[in-house]
Structure 1
Amino acid sequence: MRPPSGIVGLGTDVVDIARLTRLIDRGGTRFLDRWFRPTELRSFAAEADGRQVAALLAAKEAVAKALRVPGDGPLLWRDIEIVPGPAVLLHGRMRDLALTRGVGSFRLSMASAPDHAMATALAIAGEGQTSL
């Protein structure tokens, strides 16, 4: 069955950069490894400051909100990968959820200011699953 075209979901998130920086300082590599895939950390390593990491985190949360992730267990943040562009690649449980919901692609916008980073994700229905 062909899913209808159109918007499946919309998500927005804002991250406080100072708070995230404190979490990274406390949790170090363990914190980053829990939230980000190695490819994300490498892709953005040249620019990785608090604002960049906060924008990535906001983007992941925005994608989760756009997919309307059910609250029946821990969210595997590494199943949402943000790649340069920015674009979204999904893995594992998140990919399965997107396919179930009929999501064919995402549109993602990220921005930062001195104190906050934000992202908005639009989940779009469609047959072509190439961007998942």
Structure 2
Amino acid sequence: MIAGIGIDVVDIARFERSIERTPRLVERLFAESERRRPARSLAARFAAKEALIKALGGASVIRWHDMRIVQDADGNPDFALTGALAEHVGTLGIDRVHLSMSHDAGIASAFVVLERLDDGGRR
């Protein structure tokens, strides 16, 4: 059963100007493992984190470093959730977080779907 949906888009040039103006922003928004990427990839990761926040309906427990973007063995994006955010997601009964990210034509976008197993264990 779908428990939440979130989408976000980021203007890559604007995002790049923001991190040039405020270099510490990268440290604040991204875990060490995420930082050494081009601006378009960072913008997509920022969009993914914003989309997750929207899918959750907002949460006061969210810290930027508690939602790290990782890749599976096939190179697909996924979230590695830690800390209070991971506990919050578990409390909500979320079994799976689906993530899709893209960047093209100066825009980075991300789409998140939160999934919860229903009563019969079926999806």
State the TM-score bracket (shorter-chain normalisation). 0.7 to 0.9
Verify the 8 A CA contact 1:16 1:115 in the aligned structure 2: yes
Verify the 8 A CA contact 1:67 1:97 in the aligned structure 2: no
Give how far 1:64 is off: 1.2
Give how far 1:114 is off: 2.6
CA distance in 2, matches of 1:93, 1:67: 13
Q: How big is each residue's C-alpha offset from its partner over 1:45-79, in whole Å with a ceiling of 9 and x where there is no partner?
A: 3xx22211110100111111111223x57x41111
SS of residue in 1 equivalent to 2:22: helix
TM-score, normalised to structure 1, is 0.79
- 1:23 aligned residue: 18
Work out whether 1:122 is the aligned partner of 2:113: yes
Instruction: Considering fraction of residues, name the structure with more helix.
Output: 1
SS of residue in 2 equivalent to 1:13: strand
- Hey, which bits of structure 1, 4+ residues long, moved more than 6 A? none
Gaps of at least 5 residues in structure 1 are 1-5, 128-132
TM-score, normalised to structure 2, is 0.85
Gaps of at least 5 residues in structure 2 are 119-123
SS of residue in 1 equivalent to 2:42: helix
- 1:61 aligned residue: 50
Verify the 8 A CA contact 1:56 1:82 in the aligned structure 2: yes
